[in-house]
């Protein structure tokens, strides 16, 4: 593996300093040798002030073009719906030889929105750390967020191999495992592993809330029956998730179609008292959970690792 000195960056610019941006900063600082300077950009003054106050960045700027000037690593950490505007403004200020990457939860739309503004000589390598929580803002980040999680990189055709390797080593230094794939493949995989589960969670929580027969207090009082676990996912940031669904339409709609077919299958099994079918399907689902725990992607703790003593929170 490449040593820390080889992946050292002079100036890292974080465009967006929320959960993911602040966690990257904490992980860089924890490592010690990855960046000489970290700067940030965020539209809200209170976010910028907080980011400087708690040491996430050495300087914070309202204008992202100012933040990226002189940076050799630029990481977009804002909601993906804001990327096109950000890219248009930072494009002319990007330094030749810089790596431009991001953390957005969709990838093909990011390539389409940002790609046209990337000047020649800048290596554009979109990325997505598969790690998160339902929290947001500059104070929600922590250094271990990426430990043992996967980060997917979807290098564009023009990105130089050495730049891709540098970014791979950067994410490894932050604690991640790294995998490379195409943006389109990423979007299909994430549609089923992340986007659809969030859509289901948003829907079930709202369905329960709208049920007139059940009072709010009963929904909350008896939430440990399963509902509670959906509410954690459904508490995720509405701006981020609106942008995810608007920017990964095709893959999400395809997975939603498959999901609906399977749901009808379950509905039918219940209607016709097909216990054998239900038992088999639930058994298969249980095996998936075992596989996730064996792959080190969650804890077998009965509270899903949510207790304060547990170091790794669940993924978002």
44 touches ligand NAP (CB under 6 A): yes
- Indicate which single residue of 91, 115, 119, 137 sits in contact with ligand NAP (rule: CB under 6 A): 137
Binding mask 165-204 for ligand NAP (x = CB under 6 A): ----------------------------------------
Measure the CA–CA gap between 112 and 116, rounded to whole angstroms: 7
According to CB under 6 A, which one of 25, 136, 169, 176 is a site residue for ligand NAP? 136
Residue nearer to ligand NAP on the CB measure, 21 or 175: 21
Q: Is residue 103 a contact residue for ligand NAP (CB under 6 A)?
A: yes
77 contributes a contact to ligand NAP by CB under 6 A: yes
Does residue 105 belong to the site contacting ligand NAP (CB under 6 A)?
A: yes
Residue from the set 24, 39, 75, 82 that interacts with ligand NAP by CB under 6 A: 82
Phi and psi angles of residue 6, each rounded to the nearest 5 degrees, phi first = -75, -20
Binding footprint of ligand NAP, residue count (CB under 6 A): 30
Return the number of other C-beta atoms located less than 10 Å from residue 213's C-beta: 5
Burial call 36-62: b when 16+ CB within 10 Å, e when fewer: eebbbbbeeeebbebbbeeebbbebbe
Nearer to ligand NAP, 80 or 164 (CB): 80
Judging by DSSP bridges, how do beta strands 177-180 and 150-153 pair with one another?
Answer: parallel
* Percent helix / strand / coil, the chain, rounded to 5: 55, 10, 35
Instruction: Supply the DSSP symbol for 103.
Output: -
Gap between the terminal Cα atoms of the chain: 29
Q: What is the CA angle 169-174-179, rounded to 5?
A: 55
Of 44 and 215, which has the nearer Cβ to ligand NAP?
44
Site for ligand NAP, rule CB under 6 A: 15-21, 42-44, 47, 77-80, 82, 86, 103-105, 128-129, 132-133, 136-137, 237, 240, 244, 316
């Amino acid at each position: 593996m490449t040593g820390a000195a080889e992946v050292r960056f002079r100036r890292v610019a974080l465009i967006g300093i929320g959960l993911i941006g602040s966690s990257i900063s904490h992980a860089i600082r924890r490592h010690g040798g990855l960046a000489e300077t970290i700067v940030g950009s965020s539209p809200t003054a209170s976010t910028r002030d907080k980011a400087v106050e708690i040491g996430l960045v050495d300087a914070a700027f309202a204008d992202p073009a100012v933040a990226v000037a002189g940076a050799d690593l630029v990481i977009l950490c804002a909601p993906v719906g804001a990327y096109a505007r950000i890219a248009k403004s930072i494009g002319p200020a990007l330094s030749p030889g810089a790596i431009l990457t991001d953390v957005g939860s969709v990838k093909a739309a990011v390539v389409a929105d940002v790609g046209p503004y990337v000047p020649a000589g800048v290596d554009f390598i979109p990325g997505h750390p598969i790690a998160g929580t339902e929290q947001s803002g500059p104070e929600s980040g922590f250094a271990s967020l990426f430990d043992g999680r996967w980060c997917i990189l979807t290098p564009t055709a023009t990105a130089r191999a050495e730049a891709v390797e540098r970014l791979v080593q950067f994410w490894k230094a932050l604690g991640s495992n790294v995998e490379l794939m195409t943006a389109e493949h990423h979007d299909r995989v994430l549609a089923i592993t992340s986007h659809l589960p969030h859509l289901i969670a948003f829907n079930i929580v709202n369905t329960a809330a709208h049920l007139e027969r059940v009072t709010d207090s009963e929904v909350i009082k008896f939430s440990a029956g399963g509902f509670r676990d959906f509410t954690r996912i459904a508490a995720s940031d509405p701006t981020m998730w609106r942008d995810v669904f608007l920017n990964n339409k095709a893959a999400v709609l395809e997975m939603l179609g498959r999901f609906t077919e399977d749901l009808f299958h379950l509905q039918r099994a219940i209607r016709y008292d097909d216990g054998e079918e239900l038992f088999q399907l639930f058994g298969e689902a249980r095996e998936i959970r075992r596989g996730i725990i064996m792959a080190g992607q969650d804890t077998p703790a009965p509270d899903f690792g949510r207790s304060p003593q547990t170091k790794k929170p669940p993924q978002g």
